[in-house]
Amino acid sequence: MKRRRSAFTELVGAGHRDETLARTVGPPVQKGSTVLLDRAADLYDESRPTYGRGGLATQQTLAHALGQLESAEHVRLFPSGLAAMTAAMTAVLRAGDEVLVTDAIYKPTRRFSERVLRRFGVEVRYHPARLEPEALIGLATPRTKLIVMESPGSLSLEMQDVPAIAHLARSRGILTLIDNTWAAGLLFKPLEHGVDLSAQSLTKYVGGHSDVFMGSVATRDPGLGKALDETVWDFGWSVSPDDAYLMLRGLRTLPARIARCGESGLQVAASLAGHPRVAEVLHPALPGSPDHALWKRDFAGTAGLFSFLLEPCPPEAVDRFLDSLELFGLGFSWGGFESLALACDPQLGVRLHEPPRRGPLVRLNIGLEDPADLIDDLARGLGTIEG
Ligand SMILES: *Cc1c(COP(=O)(O)O)cnc(C)c1O
């Protein structure tokens, strides 16, 4: 008689079901490090997943959806938006190369360039955020391998003529990478304008609820897709299926949320533009902005993130203003459903081409609240700053 297997053994193998799953609206959250292969011959067949680190059903579904959003052939996921940017740079740069970076780049991307790229023998040079495309290409040397753009730029929201820069770069054999987080892959499609690599922090608008980190890099070029793949494997990056599920859930409502936040943001921006304590509103979608024509030509809409300059006042007055706000959280990040405010001046010191600014810079993330309430809150808060 066959001996009954012990509970130890039974329980290790218990509960596996092979039936196909009931179809739900969202993808299954497939958790797995080990992937079970059918036959020994499959163990080293690299044409299919043999290990979970690179992502299984949930991550693949998200990557596929992002590919549709960005009209990209290849999308890779990373544990954060910063990791997406550093991965894209690492995938294409090598010792002896030079990279040209906009001065308005997200500060941690700059820190990576300073601390890591330099250490590995890559020369990093910064240029003014609004430098004309011809002048930017004029900075290139035979060693220039990559141009890194961010448009609108972090905190100060300067726009770049991305199609022109991409076109000129390509004609010189220089690759282009953009941090497209403000547009969330939705309002602006860099790959359709000749950019080689489009990165974004999904943590912002795609996640949309300020509770999960992830980043993506999209490309149409198979060679760059392969270089990104290799970078993912070489560095050992992995994203969790639970987080990928949340990102995919956020993606469903992205257009509705960003449209509402963008529209409210424009109303708030217009109210600030007329305020006596406000020197200037920095918002490319606001008519009268120096970048308005570029935004109108290239973008299908606006996000709800913008900044403004106060009339000159001491830092304590800026803090008093921020502390008095009732509807704006004080905090980093943006793209969530809730409004946030941030004093920017402590972050601007690293910039090399920062134009003299009239007064302190404040950034607002406009969320889903009623814009009339936000406008009242800001007007009351500005009243705490003496004229
Ligand atoms: C927040 C942000 C990032 C980094 O995203 P994380 O997911 O927080 O790492 C990159 N670029 C821009 C423009 C950002 O605002």
Contact 27, 57 (CB under 8 A): yes
Cα distance between residue 27 and residue 31, in whole Å:
12
Name the token pair of 10.
Answer: 């039974």
163 burial class (0-12, 13-18, 19+ CB within 10 angstroms)? Answer: middle
Classify residue 56: in a domain, yes or no.
yes
Residue 120 pLDDT: 97
Do 231 and 273 lie in a common domain? no
Do 113 and 245 lie in a common domain? yes
Kindly tell me the sign of the dihedral angle through the C-alpha atoms of 245, 258, 367, 83.
positive
Active site residue 126: no
Pocket flag, ligand 1, residue 82 (CB < 6 Å): yes
**H helix count then E strand count, the chain:** 12, 12
Q: How confident is the model at residue 256 (pLDDT cuts 50, 70, 90)?
A: very high
pLDDT > 80? residue 1: no
Last residue of a domain, which of 215, 235, 252?
252
Q: What percent of the chain has pLDDT over 90?
A: 94
Do 230 and 179 lie in a common domain? yes
Classify residue 21: in a domain, yes or no.
no
Do 118 and 247 lie in a common domain? yes
Pocket flag, ligand 1, residue 203 (CB < 6 Å): yes
pLDDT > 90? residue 46: no
Residue 313 pLDDT: 96
Helix (H, G, I), strand (E, B) or coil at 148: strand
Do 227 and 263 lie in a common domain? no
Pocket flag, ligand 1, residue 153 (CB < 6 Å): no
Classify residue 200: in a domain, yes or no.
yes
Residue 52 pLDDT: 94
Distance in Å, CA 81 to ligand 1 centroid: 5
Classify residue 11: in a domain, yes or no.
no
Residues 54-70, mean pLDDT to the nearest whole number:
96
Residue 374 pLDDT: 98
Q: How confident is the model at residue 387 (pLDDT cuts 50, 70, 90)?
A: low
**Amino acid symbol at 188:** F
- Catalytic residue, chosen from 53, 111, 170, 357, is 53
Classify residue 326: in a domain, yes or no.
yes
- pTM for the model stands at 0.96
**Residue with the nearest Cα to atom 8 of ligand 1?**
81
SS (H, E, C) 150-183: ECCCCCCCCCCCHHHHHHHHHHCCCEEEEECCCC
Helix (H, G, I), strand (E, B) or coil at 269: helix
Do 100 and 204 lie in a common domain? yes
Do 260 and 248 lie in a common domain? no
> To test ligand 1's pocket by mutation, which of 80, 86, 101, 106 has the most ligand atoms within 8 angstroms of CB?
106
DSSP 21: P
Distance in Å, CA 274 to ligand 1 centroid: 31
Residue 115 pLDDT: 96
pLDDT > 90? residue 218: yes
Cα distance between residue 161 and residue 297, in whole Å:
10
Contact 258, 303 (CB under 8 A): yes
pLDDT: is 2 or 271 the higher one? 271
Last residue of a domain, which of 252, 275, 304?
252
Distance in Å, CA 109 to ligand 1 centroid: 9
Active site residue 53: yes
**Range in 23-27, 212-216, 337-341 with the lowest mean pLDDT:** 23-27
Do 213 and 267 lie in a common domain? no
Residue 148 pLDDT: 98
Active site residue 103: no
CATH number reported for the structural domain that contains residue 353 in this entry: 3.90.1150.10
Strand order in the sheet with 215-219: 74-78, 215-219, 197-201, 175-179, 144-150, 98-102, 123-127
- Catalytic residue, chosen from 76, 110, 189, 204, is 204
Residue 18 pLDDT: 72
Contact 212, 243 (CB under 8 A): yes
Classify residue 294: in a domain, yes or no.
yes
Name the token pair of 4.
Answer: 């009954």
DSSP 253: H
Do 153 and 273 lie in a common domain? no
Cα distance between residue 176 and residue 88, in whole Å:
10
Q: How confident is the model at residue 17 (pLDDT cuts 50, 70, 90)?
A: confident
CATH number reported for the structural domain that contains residue 58 in this entry: 3.40.640.10
Last residue of a domain, which of 220, 252, 284?
252
Do 66 and 178 lie in a common domain? yes
Name the token pair of 152.
Answer: 């609108």
Q: Which domain holds residue 104?
A: 40-252
Contact 310, 282 (CB under 8 A): no
Classify residue 318: in a domain, yes or no.
yes
Angle between helices 315-324 and 371-382 (to 10 degrees): 140
- Catalytic residue, chosen from 179, 196, 291, 298, is 179
Q: Strand locations in 140-299, DSSP E? A: 144-150, 175-179, 197-201, 215-219, 278-282
Active site residue 179: yes
Q: How confident is the model at residue 180 (pLDDT cuts 50, 70, 90)?
A: very high
Nearest of 287, 269, 252 to residue 68 by alpha carbon: 252
Helix H or strand E segment including 232: helix 222-235
Residue 386 pLDDT: 80
Give me the chain's average pLDDT, please: 96
Do 241 and 259 lie in a common domain? no
Classify residue 186: in a domain, yes or no.
yes
Distance in Å, CA 105 to ligand 1 centroid: 10
Do 105 and 194 lie in a common domain? yes
Residues 95-113, mean pLDDT to the nearest whole number:
98
How many residues appear in the chain?
A: 387
Residues 331-358, mean pLDDT to the nearest whole number:
95
Rg (CA), the chain: 23
Contact 359, 312 (CB under 8 A): yes
Give residue-wise pLDDT tens across range 112-158.
999 999 999 999 999 999 999 999 999 999 999 999 999 999 999 99
Tally of domains within the chain: 2
Pocket flag, ligand 1, residue 106 (CB < 6 Å): yes
Q: How confident is the model at residue 159 (pLDDT cuts 50, 70, 90)?
A: very high
Nearest of 22, 21, 23, 29 to residue 62 by alpha carbon: 29
Contact 194, 345 (CB under 8 A): no
